[in-house]
Amino acid sequence: MKRIGLVPTTILVLGALYCLFPVSWVVVAATKTPGELFSTATFSFGSGLFSNLADLFAYRDGVFWLWMVNTLLYAGGGALLSTLVSAAAGFALAKYRFPGRNAIFNVLIGGILVPGVVLAMPQYLLFSKIGLADTYWSVLLPQILHPYSIYLARVYSQAAIPDSLLEAGRLDGASEWLLLRRVALPMMVPGLVTIFLFQFVAIWNNFLLPFIMLGDDGKFPLTVGLYTMLAAGANQPSLYNLIITGTLVALVPLIALFLTMQRYWRTDLSSGAVKS
Amino acid sequence: MRTNRLAAAAVLATALAAAGCGASEPTQPAPAAQPQSSAPAAPAAPVKLTYWTWAPNMDKIVKVWNDKNPDIQVTVSKQAGGDDAAAKFLTAAKAGNPPQLVQAEYQHLPSFVAADAVADLSAQAAPVKGEFSEGLWRLVTLGTEGVYGVPQDSGPMMLYYRKDLFEKYGIEVPKTWDDYAAAARKVREQDKNVFLGTFSSKDPGSFAGLSQQAGGQWWSIAGEAWKVAINDQATTKVADYWGKLVDEGAIDDMPYFTPEWNKALNDGKLLTWPSAVWAPGVLEANAPKAKGKWAAAPLPQWSAGENASGFWGGSAVAVSAKATPDEKAGAAAFISWLNTDPEAVQLLVKEAFIYPASTKGTQSLTTPPAYFDTQADFWQQAAQAAATARGFTFGPNVNAAYTAYKDAFDKALANKSSFTGALKTMQDATVADMQKSGFTVAQ
Q: Which CATH class is domain A29-38+46-274?
A: mainly alpha
* Per-residue model confidence as pLDDT tens digits over A116-156: 888 889 999 999 999 999 999 999 999 998 999 999 999 99
CB contact under 8 A, B78 and A60: yes
* Per-residue model confidence as pLDDT tens digits over B228-252: 999 999 999 999 999 999 999 999 9
CA distances from B417 to B197, B206, B264, B339, B414 (A): 20, 21, 25, 45, 8
CATH of domain B156-311+373-442: 3.40.190.10
The mean pLDDT of A231-247, rounded to a whole number, is 82
Given A218, A224, A237, which is nearest B286 (Cβ)?
A237
- pLDDT band for position A249 (cuts 50, 70, 90): very high
Best B63, B77, B354 residue to mutate vs chain A (most A CBs within 10 Å): B77
What is the ipTM metric for this complex?
0.83
- pLDDT band for position B29 (cuts 50, 70, 90): very low
Best B84, B97, B320 residue to mutate vs chain A (most A CBs within 10 Å): B97
The mean pLDDT of B19-24, rounded to a whole number, is 36
Per DSSP, what are the bridge partners of residue B295? B161
* Per-residue model confidence as pLDDT tens digits over B314-367: 999 999 999 999 999 999 999 999 999 999 999 999 888 889 999 999 888 888
Q: Which CATH superfamily is B5-154+313-370 part of?
A: Periplasmic binding protein-like II (3.40.190.10)
Q: Which residues does chain A have within 8 Å of residue B79's beta carbon, measured at their own beta carbons? A: 215, 217, 228
CB-CB contact of B426 with B231 (8 Å): yes
* Per-residue model confidence as pLDDT tens digits over A29-79: 999 988 888 888 888 898 889 999 999 999 989 999 999 999 999 999 999
User: Residue B12 pLDDT more than 50?
Assistant: no
Write the DSSP assignment of A78-141 as a string of letters.
Answer: HHHHHHHHHHHHHHHHHH---TTHHHHHHHHHHHHHS-HHHHHHHHHHHHHHTT-TTSHHHHHH
Chain A residue with minimum CA distance to B52: A215
- pLDDT value, residue B4: 46
State how far Cα A126 lies from the chain centre.
Answer: 24
- pLDDT value, residue B82: 78
> Which range, of B153-157, B280-284, B332-336, averages the lowest pLDDT?
B280-284
The mean pLDDT of B159-175, rounded to a whole number, is 95
Given A35, A129, A231, which is nearest B80 (Cβ)?
A231
Nearest alpha-carbon partner for A240 in B285, B353, B215, B309: B285
Q: Which residues does chain B have within 8 Å of residue A239's beta carbon, measured at their own beta carbons? A: 285
Question: pLDDT above 90 covers what percent of chain B?
Answer: 70
Given B79, B155, B288, which is nearest A34 (Cβ)?
B288
CB-CB contact of B190 with B367 (8 Å): no
**Residue pairs between chains A and B whose CB atoms are closer than 8 Å:** 106
- pLDDT band for position B204 (cuts 50, 70, 90): very high
Given B52, B155, B284, which is nearest A215 (Cβ)?
B52
CB contact under 8 A, A38 and B262: yes
User: Residue B96 pLDDT more than 60?
Assistant: yes
- pLDDT value, residue A267: 59
User: Residue A231 pLDDT more than 60?
Assistant: yes
* Per-residue model confidence as pLDDT tens digits over B31-81: 433 333 334 445 467 899 999 999 988 999 999 999 999 999 999 999 988
- pLDDT value, residue B17: 37
In this complex, is the C-beta atom of B205 within 8 Å of any C-beta atom belonging to chain A?
A: yes
Give the span between the Cα atoms of B413 and B422, in whole angstroms. 10
* Per-residue model confidence as pLDDT tens digits over B393-442: 899 999 899 999 999 999 999 999 999 999 999 999 999 999 999 999 98
Q: Which of residues 185-214 of A touch B (CB under 8 A)?
A: 211-212
In this complex, is the C-beta atom of A133 within 8 Å of any C-beta atom belonging to chain B?
A: yes
Given A35, A124, A236, which is nearest B353 (Cβ)?
A236
CB contact under 8 A, B59 and A60: yes
Strand, helix or coil at B159? Answer: strand
- pLDDT value, residue B14: 38
Domain ranges within chain A, ordered by starting residue: 29-38+46-274
CB contact under 8 A, B81 and A39: no
Determine how many CB atoms are found less than 10 A away from the CB of residue A256: 10
Domain ranges within chain B, ordered by starting residue: 5-154+313-370, 156-311+373-442
- For chain A, counts of helices (H) and of strands (E): 15, 0
DSSP B132: S
Q: What residues contact A44, with CB distance under 8 A and at least 6 apart?
A: A28
Calculate how close chain A gets to B76, using CA atoms only, in Å: 8
In this complex, is the C-beta atom of B266 within 8 Å of any C-beta atom belonging to chain A?
A: yes
In this complex, is the C-beta atom of B287 within 8 Å of any C-beta atom belonging to chain A?
A: yes
In this complex, is the C-beta atom of A238 within 8 Å of any C-beta atom belonging to chain B?
A: yes
- pLDDT value, residue B106: 94
